[in-house]
Amino acid sequence: MSNTRLHPDRRRRRLAALTAGLILCAPHATASATTEAGAPADRATIEAELARMVEAGAPGVAVTIADGARRWQASDGLADLTSGTPMPAESTFRAASLTKSMVAAAVLRLVDQGRLSLDDTLDELVPGLVPEEDVITVEHLVRHTSGLADYTVTLEQETPAEYGSRTFAPADLVEMGVALGAVGRPGEAFHYSNTGYVLLGMIVEATTGQPLPEVLRDEVFTPAGMADTFLPSTEPGLPQPHPTGYVVLDGQRHEVTEINPSFAWAAYGAVSTAEDLQRLFASLLTGGLLSPELTALLRETVPTGHELWPGYGLGIEEMTTTCGVRLWGHTGSIPGYTTMSFATDDGARQVSVLFNQQDVSPDAALIAIGSVNIVNLEICGEPAVDLSESPTT
């Protein structure tokens, strides 16, 4: 991806557009799965990118890179701005929308067991919640093609301190999304919707008769070896060690580490670690969790229209790289934390990046693009966007 010398305002808008998928968690890619990755960049280059992200405003940043059985971790900045505690390279954090890959895996496990079908409709599974329930299918929800609006549009009219101090039932979140009106016809096009994943969580519970956290533990976390991952219900705290989480609102940074996560639930509420996320995607991509048929279907995507993340599969995003290698994983953002984790098609090479801040303003694009650059540096040996040259005026 070339870096033309743009006016600062135009360049900022360009970077903001590129990283919108990271903030909103939407993807794409078209390269052949057989394309070979390039040589990784010198790790000093990745460490320099971590430092640049901190200089641009991230409190702390951590990266975990896996290459087969080998693992490399690094961090920069602070885990806590008050105490000055350094950012740990490995810690617990809110995984945000990488939760969707976990919930999709649970749904697909139930499909493999014959307890669900991707063609099942909402009126058969959780009736009385949404319009067109006889048309919207499980597959529509997993792929974000249901046409249902995203309830977070309403939720985020309040501050995280406000909505994070209340307890929401899943049905409350669905009701919020429905009240916004449809954004498309079922099956027509990709529209990122957290509402759809809350419905998937409800479907899992209705199908199994068990709470979603228990199903995720038994069907996904334990089989994939994810010992440090769980889905909290209303518990506000995080296991140690963890970085303090921050959110930027109207240019001011606020601490939001402890927060009632019921507003996120099956859409973006899980707690995990970088190593566990890599175990998840390795298991998904190599058939450790799913049948060969569903492992292949996992990678069949619908177009999102995003430059960096142009296709969405069954709960996973594609990511483009400058060397043409197709990556699979997910991006996520929740008050306190921004995350991404991607792997090559065979699951052998993986990159996970975390920074302990959520900031959806255009000014934050210089931070967010760093996560993209780190992934591209490891896979292709060069950044996705060259930030070394100063833009012209």
Lowest mean pLDDT segment, chosen from 11-15, 167-171, 241-245: 11-15
Rounded distance, CA 271 to CA 347, Å?
22
DSSP string, 62-104: EEEEEETTEEEEEEEEEEETTTTEEPPSS--EE-GGGHHHHHH
pLDDT tier, 9 (very low <50, low <70, confident <90, very high otherwise): low
**179 burial via Cβ count (<10 Å: 0-12, 13-18, 19+):** exposed
- Residue 41 is given by DSSP the state P
Model's pTM, two decimal places? 0.92
Give the Cβ contact number of residue 211 at 10 Å. 14
pLDDT of 75 > 90? The answer is: yes
How much is the average pLDDT of 92-115? 98
pLDDT value at residue 362: 86
pLDDT of 21 > 80? The answer is: no
How much is the average pLDDT of 380-390? 82
Token pair recorded at residue 373: 């650059």
> What CATH topology corresponds to 8-28+37-380?
Beta-lactamase (3.40.710)
Give the Cβ contact number of residue 4 at 10 Å. 10
pLDDT (tens digit per residue) in 325-357: 999 999 999 999 999 999 999 999 999 999 999
pLDDT value at residue 388: 73
- Amino acid 386 reads D
| Angstrom distances, CA of residue 212 to CA of 202, 209, 270 | 8, 9, 11
Rounded distance, CA 196 to CA 176, Å?
12
Domain limits of the chain?
A: 8-28+37-380
Token pair recorded at residue 281: 């995607």
pLDDT value at residue 343: 98
pLDDT (tens digit per residue) in 309-327: 999 999 999 999 999 999 9
Lowest mean pLDDT segment, chosen from 79-93, 139-153, 204-218, 361-375: 361-375
